[in-house]
Structure 1
Amino acid sequence: MSMSERTGARTGKPLIESDRVEGTDVYSPDGTSIGSIKRLMIDKVSGKVAYAVMGFGGFLGMGEEEYTVPWSKLDYDTSLGGYRTDITESQLRGSPTFYRSGDYDWSDRNRERELHDYWGVPFYWGGV
């Protein structure tokens, strides 16, 4: 089921505004909140959501770390009112430091490949 179909099941609409996704909790396999979505990274040409940048740790936004997760790792769970993932806290902490720098070069496909390989998901752009 596509993301829009899952969202549509909850809202009765096939689409959701990006500001409604931002701040949504992300839950581990056991249902524990492991963070929340800070922003979405969208491919300009295809319009596909490529990544969710998640905030993790800290208190009231202070000391929070940001991690980039391929969008395909998240599934909306209507019973939780948030996104469920098979990602554990230790996997998140060990993930590549992809978006922890504000001046990151998002055009570096090799770094994107590293991120996708780490999470074991296909490239969002469909290439090799």
Structure 2
Amino acid sequence: MNYQEQDTYGMYKHRTDSGPGPGLMGANTLDGNDVFNLHDEDLGDIKEIMLDMSNGRVAYAVLSHGGFLGMGDKLFAVPWSALKLDTVNKRFVLDVDKDRLESAPGFDKDQWPDMADAAWSKEIHDYYGVTPYSDGRL
């Protein structure tokens, strides 16, 4: 369910700054949201939002790509900073070609990587061309 469809209590008020969407959102409202690239190609959908519990920041969105009805899909940890919210189309945009995503470091639903590993984090951020936030560990 999208955050705009869940707003029964008016908690998702519009921002006063120029950012897209509300200032705060429930993480569960983002699960299942579509992800497209700049060429309007469907890249998959968000399966999980990964929080860095040491500082309360969103670290990654886990993107599911490929497969059929959840079978045979590959998962990718996409740095949160690499995603942009498209409020008009109610989806996220990731600036990566479909072929590049298919070559990205991914994982199987039964074998997740150690997302707290600094070397793994650097590899993922470098792949998507974004700078990791600094919390003193990276």
* Superposition TM-score tier, normalisation by shorter sequence: 0.7 to 0.9
Alignment equivalent of 1:45, drawn from 48, 54, 60: 54
Q: Does 1:118 align with 2:127?
A: yes
Q: Does 1:6 align with 2:20?
A: yes
Q: What does 1:35-74 correspond to in 2, within 5 Å?
A: 35-74=44-83
**Amino acid of the residue matched to residue 54 of structure 1?**
L
3-state SS in 1 of match to 2:21:
helix
Q: How many residues align?
A: 119
Q: Mean alpha-carbon deviation: is it higher for 103-112 or for 86-95?
A: 103-112
TM-fit CA distance, 1:96: 1.9
* Partner Cα distance (1:85, 1:110) in 2: 22
Q: Does 1:83 align with 2:92?
A: yes
The answer to whether the 8 A contact 2:55-2:135 is kept is no
How high is the sequence identity, in percent, across the aligned residues? 35
**Amino acid of the residue matched to residue 6 of structure 1?**
P
* Partner Cα distance (2:116, 2:91) in 1: 29
The answer to whether the 8 A contact 2:114-2:120 is kept is no
Q: Mean alpha-carbon deviation: is it higher for 88-97 or for 38-47?
A: 88-97
Structure 2 length-normalised TM: 0.77
The answer to whether the 8 A contact 2:47-2:61 is kept is yes
User: Where do 5+ consecutive residues of structure 2 fail to align?
Assistant: 1-14
RMSD of aligned Cα (Å): 1.9
TM-fit CA distance, 1:23: 0.3
3-state SS in 2 of match to 1:19:
helix
* Partner Cα distance (1:83, 1:18) in 2: 14
3-state SS in 2 of match to 1:6:
coil
Per-residue CA shift, 1:51-99, capped at 9, x if unaligned?
11100011111111111111111111112110012111111111123x4
User: Where do 5+ consecutive residues of structure 1 fail to align?
Assistant: 9-13
Q: Which 4+ runs in 1 deviate beyond 4 A?
A: none
Rg (Cα) greater in structure:
2
Q: What does 1:93-112 correspond to in 2, within 5 Å?
A: 93-97=102-106, 99-100=107-108, 102-112=111-121
* Partner Cα distance (1:7, 1:36) in 2: 18
Q: From the superposition, tell whether residues 33 and 103 of structure 1 become closer, same or farther in structure 2 (CA, over 3 Å).
A: closer
Structure 1 length-normalised TM: 0.82
